[in-house]
């Protein structure tokens, strides 16, 4: 039940057209993909505009949607961050095999362009935009941050994204294709095409690491299909380039590649520690934008979580959509997502 007091209500604007055009979109299971859902925090008279978090779902580049059919997983995640004061944009994008890389990234870049132009309509700050993605969504986010060609194509400055959180992300597509013949045949080839030499370096964010990139928070589940090894190499390369970065793997927590976002939970709840750590990271970046503070050495959180490594280096007029009111229920939401 929704609370009639607007100060206690998270507003959700569903199926927002981020293309801002009459372009024909890919529709899958009756859902247009090039749209987004926008979650607006409860009204707060103490601030003019809220920081913005753009979330990109996973699904092996071929499945998933901004409005997940299981218990509104991504809506739960968005509400968790909206409660913390972020305008959350859950981006949809066209899926493989109908399209292949780089289309997924180009679609989300178009969503970022929409955020730049229109997010003030939703009380968001276009100068405080962060990215977050899970699994394939982590690959998309890292690609958008590191491969400047994507932002160039939509006339966005390379500094538009102020920070990036990747959860169980894919950073080396070549290495992912080598995991098994099943992964190569049913995940990589539909999304990136068949390469006789098996080289997907041009599709891999790890190959685009650059000095001057915004800070990263890289997170992995305890059981993460071997993607934690990719994260280790990715984080080390970021640090070698002088990019500010933190890496955390959740030991002894029972998390896996799906549960960390909420896809294997009964109520679609994301993993609490992951959400809390992400908010701490983002809040720290927001504070530093206004106060000039350096990043704290460690993430705050439950002491039962073990840090593998912590790296700190290199400081550096849309029509009104249909609106749903989503009342805060006071539940703690914690999460995970998919490849």
Give CA 66 to chain center in angstroms: 11
Runs of H (alpha helix) within the chain: 73-83, 103-118, 136-146, 149-153, 173-177, 181-183, 189-192, 227-240, 272-291
In tens digits, the chain (339 residues) has pLDDT values of 233 355 679 999 999 999 987 665 655 555 688 999 999 998 875 667 999 999 999 999 999 888 765 567 899 899 999 999 999 999 999 999 999 999 999 999 999 999 999 999 999 999 999 999 999 999 999 999 999 999 999 999 999 999 999 999 999 999 999 999 999 999 999 999 999 999 999 999 999 999 999 999 999 998 898 899 999 999 999 999 999 999 999 876 678 888 888 776 545 566 788 999 999 999 999 999 887 544 444 333 332 222 233 332 332 333 333 333 333 333 322 322 233
Say whether domain 6-327 belongs to CATH 3.40.50.1820.
Answer: yes
HSE value, Cβ hemisphere, 13 Å, CA-based, for 59? 20
> Are 76 and 262 within 8 A, CB to CB?
yes
Query: What are the sequence ranges of the domains in the chain?
Result: 6-327
- DSSP, collapsed to helix, strand or coil, labels residue 15 as strand
CB 261 within 8 A of CB 232: no
254: DSSP letter: -
Beta strand segments in the chain, E:
9-17, 27-28, 31-32, 35-40, 50-56, 87-91, 124-134, 161-167, 216-220, 245-249, 323-327
């Amino acid at each position: 039940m929704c609370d009639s007091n607007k100060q206690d209500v998270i507003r959700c604007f569903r199926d927002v057209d981020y293309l801002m055009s009459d372009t024909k979109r890919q529709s899958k299971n009756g859902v247009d993909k090039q749209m987004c859902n926008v979650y607006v925090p409860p009204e707060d008279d103490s601030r003019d505009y809220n920081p913005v978090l753009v979330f990109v779902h996973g699904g092996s580049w071929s499945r998933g949607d901004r409005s997940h059919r299981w218990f509104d997983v991504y809506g739960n995640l968005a509400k968790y961050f909206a409660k913390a004061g972020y305008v959350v944009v859950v981006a949809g994008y066209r899926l493989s095999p109908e399209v292949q890389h780089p289309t997924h990234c180009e679609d989300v870049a178009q969503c970022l362009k929409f955020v730049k132009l229109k997010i003030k309509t939703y009380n968001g700050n276009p100068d405080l935009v962060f990215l977050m993605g899970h699994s394939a969504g982590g690959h998309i986010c890292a690609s958008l941050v590191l491969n400047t060609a994507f932002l160039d194509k939509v006339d966005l400055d390379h500094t538009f994204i102020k920070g990036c959180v990747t959860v169980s992300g894919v950073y080396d597509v070549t290495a992912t294709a080598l995991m098994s013949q099943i992964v190569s045949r049913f995940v990589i080839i539909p999304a990136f095409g068949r390469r006789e030499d098996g080289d997907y370096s041009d599709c891999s964010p790890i190959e685009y690491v650059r000095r001057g990139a915004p800070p990263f928070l890289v997170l992995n589940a305890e059981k993460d299909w071997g993607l934690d090894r990719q994260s280790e190499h990715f984080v080390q390369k970021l640090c070698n380039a002088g990019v500010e970065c933190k890496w955390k793997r959740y030991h002894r927590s029972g998390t896996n590649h799906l549960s960390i976002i909420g896809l294997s939970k009964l109520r679609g709840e994301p993993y609490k520690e992951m959400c809390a750590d992400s908010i701490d990271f983002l809040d720290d970046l927001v504070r530093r934008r206004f106060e000039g503070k350096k990043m704290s050495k460690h993430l705050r959180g439950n002491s039962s979580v073990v840090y593998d490594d912590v790296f700190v280096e290199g400081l550096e007029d849309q029509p009104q959509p249909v609106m749903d009111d989503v009342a805060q229920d006071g539940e703690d939401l914690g999460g995970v997502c998919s490849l």
